[in-house]
């Protein structure tokens, strides 16, 4: 998942090109430019956590294999027919598009929320890398139920990993992107190797053996939620909700020659969110047969999900390297983008120092294993918070004429805070978050209803408020 990109947009932001203007035709790119990017960015550190977490949720073979197949297809369709379609029509970054609709002050608030959530995600990836770095030090790995640091060794390793990642991220886009492009093929190869080795360790000789690894499913591990087919399908659709229906990837696809480039996201979904998740789950399935895991289970505890030892058990030193790189290539661009988001609040502070600030927040978050161990829940929350802002863009784009509202209202009337947007988001978020908590409903199940309600309310409020303000 990643979920999270340092894309061509970030380079343009840094160099001052196309931040507030449509991308010119001379800078448009073919679909091939997006294919490798999506394949690489969605086979990263998050995959080493998410695959095993599905097993802890007791999924069946059908739920996992078919649920992921269809959920990822829905994500690809969202990118293709919503994100890429609007991006090619307007060729603007998400932030500038939002500013035209919402006003500058509201976008600053969005950037703050985005930056903080980016830091928490980066913190989870620092945790992932730390599980690999800690192997030579015989470090105690965090348990699935751990929320606090489990010792001084853990704290020191996380701080060291976080410091290195933050300093490299602070060097800017070129350093981050070049390193990521070099490392992505290594990480994809490592996932494939891990999957093949794990199949051998599990004694899989045919498809029936492979299917029986999950079989009819099981009870979830202590403290974990039971995942059904619908949990897998809906979660895999919306784990990148902020990017597709949340419109974050407008910043990516504004460089596409055609909206059909949106189909290239399938490379990310089926290399990363299918092959890599299943490969990582196989690693955990091997570990669950070990005496150590059996001891945890017999004591009524969930065996730890530590990507470093899991990969090391499969492919040795190469596994340690792969986990470190996978966490690094996710955390590094995430910290970089968080820094850019924070810079909206502190424009006088250099990119270097806002990135260091973001890295410090991420490192502090990485000390607490809960962000990584509860990654399924955190990613669901991340999408739920940010996706409705994308509904504002989508509903305005497709329905502004039918609704009789002014497109890009904040820009046209020179306002800094469009109350139609914040009211629509607050009501949709508040209502469905309450429903999720009150009735114990899986948060991803209410992401789409919240998104739809936000879009509809935005049109209704705009119709009302624009008429009054226009008088």
The torsion angles phi and psi of 31, rounded to 5 degrees, stand at -60, -25
Dihedral sign for Cα 329, 335, 339, 341, please.
positive
Give the pLDDT of residue 308: 85
Give the pLDDT of residue 172: 62
Give the pLDDT of residue 469: 55
Instruction: With a cut of 50, say whether residue 5 has pLDDT above it.
Output: no
Instruction: Provide, rounded to the nearest whole percent, the portion of the chain with pLDDT above 70.
Output: 92
Q: What is the mean pLDDT of residues 9-15?
A: 43
Q: In angstroms, how far is CA 2 from the centroid of its own chain? A: 4
Residue 176 — pLDDT band, cuts 50, 70, 90? low
Nearest of 187, 188, 215, 211 to residue 199 by alpha carbon: 211
Q: How far apart are CA 114 and CA 337, in angstroms?
A: 9
Give the pLDDT of residue 402: 93
3-state secondary structure of 29: strand
Q: Which residue has the higher pLDDT, 422 or 470?
A: 422
Q: What is the mean pLDDT of residues 164-193?
A: 75
Q: Where are the domains of the chain?
A: 8-387
Instruction: With a cut of 90, say whether residue 209 has pLDDT above it.
Output: yes
Give the pLDDT of residue 4: 41
Residue 2 — pLDDT band, cuts 50, 70, 90? very low
Total Cβ atoms within 10 A of residue 423: 16
Burial code (b: 16+ CB inside 10 Å, e: under 16) for 61-74 equals eebbbebbeebbbb
Give the pLDDT of residue 157: 92
Query: At CA 142, angle to CA 141 and CA 146, rounded to 5?
Result: 165
Give the pLDDT of residue 184: 74
Give the pLDDT of residue 468: 58
Q: How far apart are CA 426 and CA 444, in angstroms?
A: 17
Instruction: With a cut of 50, say whether residue 288 has pLDDT above it.
Output: yes
Give the pLDDT of residue 23: 79
Alpha helices in 299-418 (DSSP H): 307-315, 317-343, 351-366, 370-373, 375-403, 409-412
Residue 263 — pLDDT band, cuts 50, 70, 90? very high
Q: How far apart are CA 318 and CA 289, in angstroms?
A: 22
Instruction: Provide, rounded to the nearest whole percent, the portion of the chain with pLDDT above 90.
Output: 40
For the domain covering 8-387, report its CATH number: 1.10.4160.10
pLDDT, tens digit (0-9, with 9 covering 90-100), for 47-75 = 888 888 888 889 999 999 999 999 999 99
Alpha carbon distances (Å) from 16 to 13, 19, 115, 253, 254? 5, 6, 20, 18, 16
Give the pLDDT of residue 334: 76
Q: What is the mean pLDDT of residues 252-281?
A: 90
Q: What is the mean pLDDT of residues 378-402?
A: 93
Instruction: With a cut of 90, say whether residue 28 has pLDDT above it.
Output: no
Give the pLDDT of residue 63: 94
Host H or E run for residue 22: none
Give the pLDDT of residue 420: 95
Q: Which of 176-180, 262-266, 284-288, 440-444 shows the lowest per-residue confidence on average (mean pLDDT)?
A: 176-180
Instruction: With a cut of 70, say whether residue 178 has pLDDT above it.
Output: no
Q: What is the mean pLDDT of residues 113-123?
A: 87
Give the pLDDT of residue 25: 78
Spatial neighbors of 305 by CB under 8 A, at least 6 apart, are: 49, 52, 53, 56, 144, 284, 373
Residue 364 — pLDDT band, cuts 50, 70, 90? very high
Host H or E run for residue 9: helix 8-15
Alpha carbon distances (Å) from 300 to 96, 201, 224, 295, 303? 51, 25, 12, 9, 9
Give the pLDDT of residue 174: 59
Instruction: With a cut of 90, say whether residue 6 has pLDDT above it.
Output: no
Instruction: With a cut of 60, say whether residue 16 has pLDDT above it.
Output: no
Q: What is the mean pLDDT of residues 435-440?
A: 94
Ramachandran quadrant class, 404 (left: phi over 0; alpha: psi -120 to 50; beta: rest): left
Instruction: With a cut of 70, say whether residue 386 has pLDDT above it.
Output: yes
Residue 238 — pLDDT band, cuts 50, 70, 90? very high
Query: At CA 439, angle to CA 438 and CA 440, rounded to 5?
Result: 100
Instruction: With a cut of 50, say whether residue 17 has pLDDT above it.
Output: no
Instruction: With a cut of 90, say whether residue 85 has pLDDT above it.
Output: yes
DSSP code at position 256: B
Q: What is the dihedral of CA 264, 119, 159, 191, to 10 degrees?
A: -20
Whole-number average pLDDT of the chain: 85
Alpha carbon distances (Å) from 209 to 54, 203, 313? 19, 8, 21
Q: Is 83 within 8 Å of 249 (Cβ atoms)?
A: yes
> Which range among 108-112, 145-149, 174-178, 387-391 has the greatest average pLDDT?
387-391
Q: Which of 180-184, 271-275, 317-321 shows the lowest per-residue confidence on average (mean pLDDT)?
A: 180-184
Give the pLDDT of residue 124: 87
Give the pLDDT of residue 319: 85
Residue 328 — pLDDT band, cuts 50, 70, 90? confident
Burial of residue 393, with CB atoms counted within 10 A of its CB: 0-12 exposed, 13-18 middle, 19 or more buried: buried
Dihedral sign for Cα 108, 457, 4, 130, please.
positive
């Amino acid at each position: 998942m990643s979920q999270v990109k340092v894309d061509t947009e970030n380079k343009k932001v840094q160099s001052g090109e196309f931040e507030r203007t449509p991308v010119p035709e001379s800078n448009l790119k073919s679909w091939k430019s997006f294919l490798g990017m999506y394949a690489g960015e969605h086979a990263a550190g998050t995959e080493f956590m998410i695959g095993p977490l599905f097993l802890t949720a007791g999924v069946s073979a059908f739920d996992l294999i078919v649920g992921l197949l269809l959920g990822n297809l829905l994500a690809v369709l969202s990118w293709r027919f919503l994100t890429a379609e609007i991006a090619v029509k307007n060729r603007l970054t998400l932030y500038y598009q939002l500013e035209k609709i919402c006003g500058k002050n509201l976008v600053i608030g969005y950037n703050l929320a985005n930056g903080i959530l980016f830091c928490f995600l980066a913190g989870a990836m620092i945790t992932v890398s730390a599980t690999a770095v800690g192997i030579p030090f015989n470090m105690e790995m965090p348990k699935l139920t751990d929320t606090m640091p489990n010792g001084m060794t853990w704290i020191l390793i996380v701080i060291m990993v976080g410091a290195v990642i933050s300093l490299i991220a602070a060097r800017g886009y070129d350093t981050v992107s070049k390193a990521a492009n070099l490392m992505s093929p290594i990480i994809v190869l490592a996932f494939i190797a891990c999957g093949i080795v794990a199949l051998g360790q599990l004694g899989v000789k045919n498809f029936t053996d492979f299917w029986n690894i999950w079989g009819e499913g099981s009870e979830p591990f202590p403290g974990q939620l039971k995942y059904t087919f619908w949990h897998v399908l809906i979660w895999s659709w919306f784990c990148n909700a902020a990017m597709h229906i949340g419109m974050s990837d407008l910043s990516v696809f504004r460089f596409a020659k055609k909206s059909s480039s949106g189909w290239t996201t399938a490379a990310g979904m089926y290399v990363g969110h299918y092959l890599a998740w299943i490969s990582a789950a196989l690693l955990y399935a091997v570990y669950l047969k070990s005496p150590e895991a059996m001891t945890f289970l017999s004591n009524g505890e969930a065996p730890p999900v530590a990507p470093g030892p899991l990969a090391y058990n499969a492919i040795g030193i190469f596994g340690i390297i792969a986990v470190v790189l996978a966490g690094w290539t996710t955390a590094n661009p995430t910290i970089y983008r968080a820094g850019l988001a924070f810079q909206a609040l502190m424009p006088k502070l250099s990119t270097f120092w806002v990135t260091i600030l973001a890295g410090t927040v991420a490192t502090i978050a990485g000390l607490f294993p809960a962000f990584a161990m509860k990654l399924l829940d955190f990613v669901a929350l991340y999408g739920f918070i940010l996706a409705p802002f994308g509904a504002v863009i989508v509903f305005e784009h497709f329905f502004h004429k039918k609704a009789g509202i002014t497109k890009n209202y904040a820009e046209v009337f020179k306002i800094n805070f469009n109350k139609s947007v914040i009211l629509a988001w607050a009501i949709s978020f508040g209502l469905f978050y309450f429903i999720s908590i009150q009735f114990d409903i899986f948060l991803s199940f209410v992401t789409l209803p919240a998104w739809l309600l936000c879009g509809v309310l935005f049109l209704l409020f705009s119709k009302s408020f624009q008429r009054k303000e226009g008088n």
